[in-house]
A and B are shown apart, each in its own frame.
Chain A
């Protein structure tokens, strides 16, 4: 299904019903490619939220070893280009370590899942940092009061601090999510046929350079602008009034 999006299977001919200008779209599964982009974004977003929260918890935990691991992880992963990380998931994880993501016999599925994994590994470092800065905005008194009534570290974090921190980081999280949407383009490096790969193929094969670029730019704007607006609205709604 994913593979077919890049091929030239001539679509049904409705030439008269279609504007001449958009002829170049014929035979390309534009919506399919953007659907892959959306899937990559959503799955990676959920994954990196989970792993990023765990990393943030490690970074503020009382166990020194976990703190060290969290810090090291963020500082290393954040500084490597995503292209390299995505390639590592395929060359390192899949080829060398034999992590086939439950799809050893289907490269399309495997690459898609590996790309999601790579995006999660990368994005969670930023989620972690956003959360940590959110934790810093929670007044010290909150945590002190929570400790005073005898809550443990886990309870302080999950019942008192994180709920407030998450509300205050909706803005930065929106930026992370938007960046993630755009970063899915890098999945093209291991052959996931998402929108950017299709764009490159179309530019190579068709003449309407400006139109093709405009169509894809419009597609990404459609994906990212609403995200920003909605998250901005949510951020204002849930903000902790102080």
Chain B
């Protein structure tokens, strides 16, 4: 696609591109050199800072792995609970009855508007004060509650946008052959919408994984981020090294997820073309995120938290 924006480079353009590349490379190298030097200067690259991670498995088994396990547990739980909840609300927003549609819309818009962190802090205080969940589980409950409330609202929007992105003809044809409303939704609309939604939902998973970090950073959830605190205090305040390792782990997990998402997207798009259903071609060209067209562009919600 991008190649549409410029012609195949001729000799002059080639020279210019090489020049740009060279300038950019020099700038990039200078930046990296500056960072490297400063780190070296402040002793951040000394082996002692990094030894715990590359010189043995202690740090991994004592701090990182237990934290990572909690991160993954919270993310998985949040996803599993938020998915059906979000689907219900998304479908409820499309209901013909105002008494279903309006409350659902209010709930969804409300929870989309509030920061996850605020929801988590609220959950933490609520569980501490009004329930007898033990302190072992309380932070997990708080984190999962916050993630579920927010992400269910986001998934509701994704589901709604997914269903709205289907051509009207689909439900009209289904009605015409005498299916009831529930049947239309269940047998015609949802199966098609799910195909379109899957990539977005997978990338929403990335958001959830990242957002668990709020639990460790600000609440007392013993996740990967929280593991940095006892780890760096034990290994002589190697905060930069510790956070770098943690960031790399997050990148690895999320990169795997996004790669899976784009693989899924490619597969689904290919499948769609070959089986040739009547899908709005514009919707497909937006890059599978069903983004800009339908439902006020809820698709791109997937990207950010």
Contact = CB atoms under 8 A, between A and B. Distances in A.
A82 B35 contact: no
A126 interface: yes
Which DSSP category, helix, strand, loop or mixed, fits chain A's interface? helix
A189 B300 contact: no
Nearest to A59: B2
Contacts of A180: 304
Contact of A153 (B6, B28, B115, B129): B6
A209 B114 contact: no
Contacts of A232: 296
Interface stretch (A4-12, A15-23, A86-94, A101-109): A86-94
Given A63-B21, A136-B287, A79 B206 contact: yes
Contacts of B214: 81, 83, 186
Contacts of A40: none
State which size class the interface on A falls in.
Answer: 35 or more
Contact of A84 (B38, B114, B225): B225
Given A133-B291, A182-B115, A79 B121 contact: no
Nearest to B289: A133
A79 B299 CA distance: 18
Contacts of B38: 96-98
Interface residues of B, number: 70
Contacts of A118: none
Contacts of B42: 95-96
Contact of B213 (A84, A137, A228): A84
B177 interface: no
Nearest to B207: A179
Given A91-B240, A209-B129, 9 more contacts: A80-B251, A82-B305, A133-B286, A136-B287, A172-B297, A183-B115, A199-B118, A213-B122, A221-B110
Interface of A: 59-67, 69, 75-76, 78-84, 87-88, 91-92, 95-98, 123, 126, 129-130, 133-137, 140, 143-144, 147, 152-153, 156-157, 161, 168-169, 171-172, 174-176, 178-180, 182-183, 185-186, 188-189, 196, 199-200, 203, 209, 213, 216-217, 220-221, 224-225, 228, 232, 235
The 5 A-B pairs of least Cβ separation, nearest first, read A171-B297, A81-B213, A79-B254, A172-B300, A182-B115
